[in-house]
Structures are given as C-alpha cells and as structure tokens.
Chain A
Amino acid sequence: MTSTAIHPSSPASPPGEAPAVWTQGLGKRYGNFDALNDLTLEIARGEVFGLLGPNGAGKTTFLRTLLGYLRRTSGSAEVLGIDPEVDPVGVRRFVSYLPGDARLPRQLRGHAVLRFFADIRPDGDLENALAIADRLELDLRRHVGFMSTGMRQKLAIAAVIGTRSQVLILDEPTANLDPTIRSRVLELVLETKREGRTVIFSSHVLSEIEEVCDRVALLRQGRLALHQKLAELRARHRILATRMSTTPGAAASLPAVPPELAESISQVAFDGPELMIETVGDLAPVLGWLASLDLTKVRAETFGLRAVYDSVHHHEAVSV
C-alpha cells in the first residue's frame, strides 16, 4: 500500500515546516534485488513513528538511505526538507541515529564516549547524556571493551538520546536490554516526544511499538505494506464466541449486522461454531446486539498489532 505525499518544499509546506521525513517512490536496488521499492511515506514532526517488518524487509536500508549512507536508485527523500544525497551532513546535523548493532570505540571509557559524541555534535549535551546514563544504571568508568553487550547498548542509547537533535532514529534500541531498562528506554522515547522531537522507532517487539508509537509502517520485501495509526488500532476489538447452535443451517440463521452497526463492525467470520467479529470504535452498541445472539464463551480482546502484523506477514487481507 502506498500513499501520495505532498512535497515538503512545495509552497504549502516550506522547508522550515517540512515534515520530519518525506519520501516519494524511494527505491534501493542491489543488482537484481530490490531492498527498497517505491516507498512513499511522510513522518510528521513531533510524532513517534514505528517501523515494523520481518528481517530483510528493508527497515534498516530505509533508515540508512535517510542518513545518506546509501545512495538511492530511484525516488526522492528529504529529512526536515534536506535531501540526504545532496547534503548528508546537513541531515545529520539535525538527526541522531542509533544503529541496530551500535559499536563504539573499545579503547575509550564510557564517559569518554559520551564526551566524544557530545563534543562532535553542535547539539550535543554531555550533561543530558550523563543523566540518561545514570537512569540506565550504567557504569561509565569501564572501558567499552570490557562492557557487556547490554551495557554497550545502554551507552549508545545515552549518547544518541542525550543529544538535542530534532529527529532521533532508533533501530532496535531495546535489543539486549533487561525488562527494567527496556521500560526506561521507552520512557525516554516518550519524554523525547513530549519535548516536541520526532522519533523513528524500528523494532521487532510489537508491544513496544504499541506502547510508544503514534503511527506504524509495516514493510515487506522492501515495500510499504501498511501504515496504521495506533490510536485507531487501539479502538478496534476482536470478539470471539461460540454459537450455541451448531446445526448445519446455523450459519445462515445468524442475524445480519444491523444497519446502525455497519460502521462499528468491520468483519464477521465463522468457522463451524466459532464466531469472530471485528469492531471499530466504541464497543457498547455492539455488545447489545451480541447479547441478542445465541452465543456462549464470549470474550473480547483489543485488536493488537500482532494481528495486523501477522496478516501482513502472511500476505492475508486485512481491513484497516
């Protein structure tokens, strides 16, 4: 699924108000392999934008293209109105990036690493980085070479989130972290959002995306398979129930969805006695109708990202 984005440099959207990220038909090809294909996307300033997709879907390629690490083979891309291929340094002046596998100079101590990244950036803030390191319970006296994988990840997070950059790109920031520190990192992401900064959050952990993101894009085989507002997703439910009557003609006897609920019920499916109803918006009016049906073992669950992800991942149709 693709959508048309307004060009950020158009009169309606001057560079000073350009979206955090804008791409149009973005593509990256390696030989015969399309790592990215016709990706059109817009990320607004100040939002937390999730990137989801299986391994090799093109998430990291997309992020690295935005930073000017890779030269695109087709399409256009702008970050805060700056083309990363024309002015990669200009882009990186406003963007901080945490790679999926962040590696730091092994010969430096933790404190020296934070000082290096604070000094080298115009928006570097050593005090903030030190405060974040403290929140992440990181011992900065150790050499990077003697740190565990999780400690190195925490150090990289402190170095990246500690800056005052307008845009943060975090590629799997919670990898290798224990549950306590994970939740602190998610808190930091939400604090960053409250400061009005933009966060692009790539992760395989669906619950984390659901917790912090405003919108999410699902990539599959280099293409944008879906993008979804999380608020809309949270308002959707799936109701599972078993019909009391399991005679062969029971399906036909199931009452039709009342017209006043047509907006609230997006899908009704049954497999033998098992019934599945997907709802959108307020659940209360639907419950009344359900009570009139001949159902038992009724349970309602939020329509989580898992269902969307599975649908996209397994090439199933999904109604959104």
Chain B
Amino acid sequence: MIDRVLVRTYLVQSLLLWAACATTLFAFAWVRVWVSSLIDMGQFRTIVEQFRDFERFAPIGFDALFTHTGRIGMTFDEPIVILCTVVWAIARGSDVVSGELGRGTLEMLLAQPISRTKLLLSHAAVATAGLASIVLALWAGMAIGVARTEVTETVPPPSLRIPFTAFELPLTMAGPTQESFPMSSVVNPYDFAAGVFSLFALGFFVLGLSTLLSCLDRYRWRTIGLVLSIYIFQLVIYGLGKAADRLSWLQGWSFFNWYRPQKQIAEVAGGGWAAPWRWTGPDADSWFGPGVYPWLLIGGGLLFYLLGIIAFRRRDLPAPL
C-alpha cells in the first residue's frame, strides 16, 4: 500500500513545515489558556454580553462560553489555529503531483517501480500523520496550559436577592475577595478531545481537496489558488448564511457547517464525554448528533482522495516544464 523509501523522503521534505506548524499550535494553545486565565470571568461575561445582538455569528451560544472549558474551547475557532492546519493541508496536498511536476522531479520518481496509487498513498500517510500530530500538539499545548495555569477570580460578598425585585442586599460589609485555584480543578483536557478530532477532520477535508486538485493539475501555484478560492468561497457563503435568516440555507452548502468543535465541547458539560461523539440527535427534531459532522468532513476528504487516485492513474504524465 505504501512505500517505505517514499515515506522517508516525504518525512524529510515536510519536516520543517511540520515543526513550524506543530510548534506554533503548541505554543499558541498554551499561551491562549494562560491569557484566558488573565481575564476575570465576571469581566469576560460583561464584555461578551455587550455583543449579545451578534450572537448568531458565534459558533455557539454565548452562555456556553461562560465557563473556563467554553472559553478555552474557543481556541478551535481562532484564526491562527485554522491557518496552521489549513497551511499544512494545502502545502502538503498541493505538492504531491503538481508540485513534483513543477519541480520536474516526478519524471524520475515515477521511473522507479512504484505505482501511482502507492505514491499517492505514501504521501497521504505522511500528510495525514503530520496533520494528526500537529492537532495533537495543539491539544498537548492546551493540556499543559491547563495543568500549569492558576486562575484568580473575584468572589463577590454573599448577598440576598429580595424577591420580586432586582435588588441585592449584601449580607456582610466586606468587599469582594480574590480566590485562586488551579485551572485543572475546573477544566479537564479530555473535554477537548472531540474538538481536536473536529480540527483534524477539517484539515483532512482540505488535504483531500488539495490532493485531488494537485492530481488534476500541473502547476502547483494554480492548485493552491484553486483550493484557496474554494476555501474563501465556502467561508463567504457560510458567513452570509449566518448573517441573514433568509440566506440561512447557504450554510448547508458550505463545509464549514460541518466544523463544530465548540458545539461538541459544549456537549460534554451536559452529556459527559460520550455526548460529542453521538451520531444521532438528542431528540426527534435533530437527525444527526454532533459526532456525525467530523465524519462528514473525513468522508469528504476520503472521497477526494479516491477521485484523486482515479484521476492520477488515468492521466498522461506531462513532460517537465
């Protein structure tokens, strides 16, 4: 299925990019947990409440964000996290055929007794393992961040709400107190497992798409341009679908609709660790559970790979440029 020598070559080829992406994601996740601990939850709530009118643009309801797990879960929708994942996927996927064709190295590579399918699968093995390891690096950064961070929160003095009024009557004359505790006492890194898988699935979808277009093309710059065009188009229609109720149907035509890490993480709070992986909805109104969506992305990526293999096997190999 895969060739050991090719795998070794692809590992060497991709090592620098992998190190850059993995380090960035690891460090960013750690720093982001720490930054999250710097903002008092009460202040955070106050800030977020100002934007309640724009809640529909957010990946999940604001109420789910008023927990430390929810706030750290926002990491999965941070542009830098998406960027690193997508950069890895596009860089590696676009390189496999059109990149090698552009450099002229495919001619000698395919002169060896290796089938085109084996070449693609060897490349896919390295690219997918690399993708898995960079999202695991993100998770590791989050886990270490959670383990090493201490949270300080302001605890208001005990008070009594007078029934039928909004008036709070303080029970003591003491001011608010500062309370410190380890982040790990309120956040379990395993809660993010479904989010990590979702990020991997998004990356795999883009990797498959890039590979397919690379298999069809002979210029890597054009492959990258096409993937980015599709990516941006999908992002735009997803945004439009969120912005206007009458355009909400557009969301169904965007693969970003299948990327729901924060919703999956929020499920843990109500249903335990198994909840984000459910394939069926919690009630009759929702057909699919949150666990379906990452698999839709992975299924799409696999379909692209299959089409890529078919296209690459059938095409004439153009002479080097």
Using a CB–CB distance below 8 Å, which chain A residues touch chain B?
60, 64, 67, 69-71, 88-90, 92-93, 95-97, 99, 101-108, 116-117, 119-122, 156, 159
Contact = CB atoms under 8 A, between A and B. Distances in A.
Interface string B105-142: 10110111111000000000000000000000000000
Contact of A64 (B3, B105, B114, B317): B317
Going nearest first, the 6 A-B pairs with the smallest beta carbon separation are A103-B104, A97-B111, A69-B317, A93-B113, A120-B5, A99-B107
B320 interface: yes
Given A103-B108, A105-B9, A116-B9, A121 B113 contact: yes
Interface of B: 3, 5-6, 9, 12-13, 103-105, 107-108, 110-115, 314, 316-317, 319-320
27 contacts: A60-B319, A67-B110, A88-B115, A89-B115, A92-B111, A92-B112, A96-B111, A97-B108, A99-B107, A99-B111, A101-B104, A102-B107, A102-B108, A103-B105, A104-B105, A105-B9, A105-B13, A105-B105, A116-B5, A116-B9, A117-B108, A119-B5, A120-B5, A120-B114, A121-B112, A121-B113, A159-B108
Contacts of B317: 64, 69-70
Given A69-B317, A92-B112, A156-B108, A107 B13 contact: yes
B165 to A, nearest CB: 73
- Chain B CB count within 10 A is highest, among A67, A97, A108, A116, for A116
A51 B298 CA distance: 49
B271 to A, nearest CB: 49
A64 B6 contact: no
A97 B320 CA distance: 14
Nearest to A70: B316
Contacts of A120: 3, 5-6, 112-114
Contacts of B316: 69-71
B320 A101 contact: yes
Nearest to B314: A71
Given A90-B113, A102-B108, A107-B12, 20 more contacts: A60-B319, A64-B317, A69-B110, A69-B316, A70-B316, A70-B317, A71-B316, A89-B113, A89-B115, A92-B114, A93-B113, A99-B320, A101-B104, A103-B107, A104-B105, A104-B108, A107-B13, A120-B112, A156-B108, A159-B108
- Chain A CB count within 10 A is highest, among B6, B12, B108, B316, for B108
Nearest to B4: A119
A102 B103 CA distance: 10
A320 B110 CA distance: 39
A39 to B, nearest CB: 17
Contacts of B115: 88-89
Nearest to B9: A116
Nearest to B317: A69
B215 to A, nearest CB: 15
Contacts of A64: 317, 319
- Chain A CB count within 10 A is highest, among B104, B314, B319, for B319
